[in-house]
A and B are shown apart, each in its own frame.
Chain A
Amino acid sequence: GAGVSQSPSNKVTEKGKDVELRCDPISGHTALYWYRQRLGQGLEFLIYFQGNSAPDKSGLPSDRFSAERTGESVSTLTIQRTQQEDSAVYLCASSLAHRSYGYTFGSGTRLTVV
């Protein structure tokens, strides 16, 4: 597509439930990134995928968080047993090549855990 697409745009879930967030990067972009942004805060790196290489998971805050990507296409970020502190906007970005270019961000998924 023309841009990075994320779904859902908004998600309200009960504490303890699992959620799955989806990111569809720009076609041809080999690098894909997930960030978290809490209200009024900066971007917090979570994970990145580069082609078929093993993902860099160093930013994931706990083992409740996991992400997958099929080849160079769609990625899903899964949060298990959600907690209230997981409430944030989850942003996905893609890039032509890791570190070489600026990123294009999706419009994010606003997650609210009640």
Chain B
Amino acid sequence: RKEVEQDPGPFNVPEGATVAFNCTYSNSASQSFFWYRQDCRKEPKLLMSVYSSGNEDGRFTAQLNRASQYISLLIRDSKLSDSATYLCVVNSYSGGGADGLTFGKGTHLIIQP
């Protein structure tokens, strides 16, 4: 089983719609969780951390479900500029890869006008 799994998509969503995608992780010892955004031919950029109680940043809401070992990202009122690949990232203090942060392969989102 892969350590961090994401649906690669693409998700084709009309502008203004709400879109959500999940990510599952295999290491129950994982402590920290992040969503990164990567635009085409650009480096990944931190979008938001994911806290146990869930957190919101403008149109973006992140949730964590430790019991089921998944995190989610919800985007409301989607904009054309939201088109990107969203990377789920998990930080494990045991396992999770030698580097401590394990990156999913990303979910590709396309917002259509």
Contact = CB atoms under 8 A, between A and B. Distances in A.
Interface string A97-114: 011101111111000000
Contact of A99 (B46, B91, B105, B106): B91
Contacts, number: 48
A99 B43 contact: no
A43 B98 contact: no
Contacts of A42: 87, 103-106
Interface string B78-113: 000000000101011100011111011110000000
Contacts of B43: 91, 105-108
A105 B44 contact: yes
Contacts of B100: 48, 98-99
Contacts of B98: 45, 48, 56, 58-59
Nearest to B96: A99
Interface of B is mostly: strand
Interface residues of B, number: 23
A70 interface: no
A55 B105 CA distance: 25
Interface residues of A, number: 20
Contacts of A56: 98-99
Nearest to A107: B43
Contacts of A108: 43
A41 interface: yes
26 contacts: A33-B99, A41-B105, A42-B87, A42-B103, A42-B105, A43-B44, A45-B99, A48-B98, A48-B100, A56-B98, A58-B98, A99-B32, A99-B91, A99-B92, A99-B93, A99-B100, A99-B101, A100-B91, A102-B34, A102-B46, A102-B49, A102-B89, A103-B46, A103-B101, A105-B44, A105-B45
